[in-house]
Homo-oligomer: A and B are copies of this chain.
Amino acid sequence: MQTSTRDRIVLAASRLVQRQGYVGTGIKQIAKEADATLGSVYHFFPGGKEAVAVAAIRHGDQEFAALLREALDSQEDPAAAVDACARLLATALRASDWVDGCPVTAAALETLGTDSEIQQACADALRGWQDVVADKLVRAGIARADARELAGTVISALEGAEVTAQVMRSEEPLLQAGRQLARLVATYR
């Protein structure tokens, strides 16, 4: 077998949760998509659905962070780098026919009042991405305090723009946000 059953479960769960959210995705659907059986899922994740979701979100977190780093490193100038992020997200989103958005937003919103581990995993992801952006800004010579606040805004704006792009089925919101964020970053000199 190429990939382990466990990995296939996490991968399938990650994709499904990203597209349909936590409550919208069933354990049986995950098992089917992963070419695994229900027994296997509960064998590897005794914690049940929530445990699977946490693993899935952490996986999506890492994947997205890598994407972000790659886009940021493709440009020297921080403003251009942020714009490159938006552009990358836009093309990826279009390629998936607007369904593969942010891997944590949907799950995060659905589990807000429930103080489950899922929420914690989502918060960790957002914090991590902000750190990735902040690092780039600091390396480009922006003061640490400014970089942190700017990075938070960049992540929030990209997140919001991605949702908007998905709903509108258009790359424009992301491209707009990229241009405006670049303009904003450029004011820190």
Contacts and interface: CB of A to CB of B under 8 A. Distances in A.
Most chain B beta-carbon neighbours within 10 Å: one of A19, A156, A161, A180? A156
Contact of A167 (B126, B161, B164): B126
Interface residues of A, number: 46
Interface stretch (A3-11, A33-41, A71-79, A146-154): A146-154
**Copies of this subunit:** 2
A88 interface: no
A13 interface: no
B160 A161 contact: yes
Interface of A: 19-21, 23-24, 98-99, 101, 105-106, 108-110, 112-113, 119, 122-123, 126-127, 149-150, 152-153, 155-161, 163-164, 166-168, 172-173, 176-177, 179-181, 183-184, 187
